[in-house]
């Protein structure tokens, strides 16, 4: 089974319309439809579609296992042992190699550490921008 069939399988299992998957993944409806109908083997949109389905790309491409054992009514996937995990984030999900399920598996403390790290990077970037504007270093 190729990527297109896998996308369609999970989209239908989750009772997601093309529009809903498009909203969740940031991939155009026409692109999703063409991918499913052509049953494409590969796509540069694979990672985004996987995230929109609440899966990693490896999980989406894995034909040997059903990664969504308990489908929902379109509110999001119910992965094995992960009933508490919320629906995948909107298309602006910032990570390419961390799925929303991986993120949700982290404890509050770990997520706080990651957010703190990102805030530190943003603050440093802001300081660098300010120093470029004023000619000082910070």
CA 76/CA 69 separation, integer angstroms: 12
CATH code of 8's domain: 1.10.260.40
Comparison of pLDDT for 76 and 17, the residue scoring more: 17
Residues 11 and 62 in one domain: yes
Close Cβ partners of 61 (under 8 Å, ≥ 6 residues apart): 3, 6, 46
Residues 85 and 126 in one domain: no
Length in residues, the chain = 138
What's the pLDDT at 78? 43
On the question of pLDDT at 65 being above 50, the answer is: yes
40 lies in which domain range? 3-93
In a domain, 77, yes or no: yes
Residues 115 and 56 in one domain: no
Residues 42 and 88 in one domain: yes
Residues 84 and 115 in one domain: no
CA quadruple 24, 27, 33, 35: dihedral, nearest 10: -120
Residues 89 and 114 in one domain: no
Q: What tens digit of pLDDT does each residue of 35-45 get? A: 999 877 777 88
Mean pLDDT of 89-99: 67
pTM flag (> 0.75):
no
In a domain, 99, yes or no: no
In a domain, 58, yes or no: yes
* Residues 48/27, Cβ–Cβ less than 8 Å: yes
Q: How many domains does the chain have?
A: 2
Residues 82 and 123 in one domain: no
């Amino acid at each position: 089974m190729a990527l297109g069939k896998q996308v369609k399988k999970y989209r239908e299992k989750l009772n997601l319309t093309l529009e809903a998957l498009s909203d969740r993944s940031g991939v155009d409806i026409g692109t999703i439809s063409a991918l499913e109908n052509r049953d494409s083997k590969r796509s540069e949109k694979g990672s985004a579609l996987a995230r929109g389905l609440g899966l990693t790309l490896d999980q989406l491409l894995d034909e040997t296992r059903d990664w969504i054992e308990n489908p929902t009514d379109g509110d999001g996937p119910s992965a094995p042992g992960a009933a508490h995990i919320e629906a995948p984030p909107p298309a602006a999900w910032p990570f390419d190699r961390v799925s929303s399920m991986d993120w949700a598996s982290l404890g509050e403390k770990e997520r706080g550490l990651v957010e703190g790290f990102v805030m530190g990077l943003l603050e440093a970037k802001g300081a660098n921008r300010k120093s470029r504007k004023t000619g000082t270093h910070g």
